């Protein structure tokens, strides 16, 4: 089966610019997650979707970050405007279960964002 697809792989932007990341989960996976991973740290959940509804966005900086999951499939994560501290790897993951179950939890390759 195809894995979780993410694009772009790398992005360099100046602070105050905007950027968008795209994720296509594994077909049939109900739950989609966006994580932020700062160098040397574990992944931090930004937002969790179940189908096209938001389950948890408590750690999403809503003044600058937004995310949507159209038709319960693809998802985009946007940052506007970017700050230097947003430099990180942004990981998308999906799972078959309708809750935070690690069974079948699959990650994409991530997008490395550098804000200069």
Partner 1 sequence: KQEVTQIPAALSVPEGENLVLNCSFTDSAIYNLQWFRQDPGKGLTSLLLIQSSQREQTSGRLNASLDKSSGRSTLYIAASQPGDSATYLCAVSPPTGGYQKVTFGTGTKLQVIP
Q: Which is nearer to partner 1, 47 or 79 (CB)?
A: 47
* Contact call for residue 107 and partner 1 (CB under 8 A): yes
Q: Which is nearer to partner 1, 24 or 108 (CB)?
A: 108
- Measured CA to CA, the distance from residue 109 to residue 5 in angstroms comes to 7
Contact mark string toward partner 1, 43..62, x via CB under 8 A: xxx--x------xx------
- Measured CA to CA, the distance from residue 87 to residue 56 in angstroms comes to 22
**CA 73 and chain centroid, separation:** 13
Q: Which is nearer to partner 1, 30 or 81 (CB)?
A: 30
**CA 38 and chain centroid, separation:** 13
Which H or E element spans position 106?
Answer: strand 106-107
* Contact call for residue 91 and partner 1 (CB under 8 A): yes
Q: How far is the CB of 81 from partner 1 (least distance, A)?
A: 25
- Measured CA to CA, the distance from residue 4 to residue 24 in angstroms comes to 6
Q: Which chain residues interact with partner 1 by CB under 8 A?
A: 4, 6, 33, 40-45, 48, 55-56, 89, 91, 93, 99-103, 105-110, 112
């Amino acid at each position: 089966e195809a894995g979780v697809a993410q694009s772009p792989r790398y992005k360099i932007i100046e602070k105050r610019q905007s950027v968008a990341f795209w994720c296509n989960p594994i077909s049939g996976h109900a739950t989609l997650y966006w994580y932020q991973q700062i160098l040397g740290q574990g992944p931090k959940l930004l937002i969790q979707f179940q189908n096209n509804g938001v389950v948890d966005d408590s750690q999403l900086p809503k003044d600058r970050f937004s995310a949507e999951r159209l038709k319960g499939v693809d998802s985009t994560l946007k940052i506007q405007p970017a700050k230097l501290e947003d430099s990180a790897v942004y990981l998308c993951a999906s799972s078959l279960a309708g809750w935070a179950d690690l069974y079948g939890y699959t990650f994409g390759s991530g997008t490395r964002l550098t804000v200069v």
